[in-house]
Amino acid sequence: MDTVQFRNLMRHQAGAVTIIAVGKAGNRTGLTATAMCSLSDTPPMILICVNKNASAYGPIKAAKCFSVNVLAKDQQDLAKRFSSKKLEGEARFDQDAWITMRTGAPLLRGAIANLDCELADEHVFETHSIFIGRVKDGQFHEKVEPLLYFRGDFWDLKKA
Ligand SMILES: Cc1cc2nc3c(=O)[nH]c(=O)nc-3n(C[C@H](O)[C@H](O)[C@H](O)COP(=O)(O)O)c2cc1C
């Protein structure tokens, strides 16, 4: 199977949209990512897949911690901002929208859930790394609805 066929196949998997963020105020970066899933509950671990060319790749390895912010349906603009080359690094961060989590990673206000992770392991595979995160802390908001990504577009539960 070639890359185009593979992409056409994978775009049918509806997924939650997250922003993975790293760094201290003044020196933060992050990316929009759908490649995040639970790995185990005991211990509480997740995994994320990050392109080695992404600006956040080096900082995640250096900081040894990162956050995963599961986006709410009204946060589509942020998903676009963190996946666009128009803004980079700290310029992607709206000052009022972010606070610091226990590990020191940035936490996005208004997200449906925030996971504060310590980097536990990395598995490099060609263009990407699988980062395994130990979830140290987190919070969620029961009444907020998720932003979804499906067939190359953003959706919410009502549109779906
Ligand atoms: C919906 C969506 C999901 C994405 N998921 C991932 C992902 O799981 N892993 C990844 O490395 N990049 C993913 N990307 C691409 C990054 O968001 C994009 O390359 C981003 O600009 C990071 O690179 P930069 O910080 O170097 O600009 C996704 C983009 C979009 C729009």
148 close to 157: Cβ distance less than 8 angstroms: yes
H-only helix segments in the chain:
3-10, 57-63, 76-81
* Opening angle at CA 55, ends 52 and 58, nearest 5: 65
- This prediction's pTM: 0.97
pLDDT value at residue 4: 97
Task: Give the phi and the psi of residue 89 in degrees, each rounded to 5.
Answer: 50, -130
What CATH topology corresponds to 3-155? Pnp Oxidase; Chain A (2.30.110)
pLDDT value at residue 158: 86
CA of 83 to the centre of ligand 1 (A): 5
pLDDT value at residue 120: 98
pLDDT value at residue 94: 93
134 close to 46: Cβ distance less than 8 angstroms: no
CA of 150 to the centre of ligand 1 (A): 15
CA pair distance 122, 78, nearest whole angstrom: 27
Stretches in the chain below the pLDDT threshold 50: none
CA of 46 to the centre of ligand 1 (A): 18
CA pair distance 76, 28, nearest whole angstrom: 20
pLDDT value at residue 160: 62
Tokens of 135: 């979830």
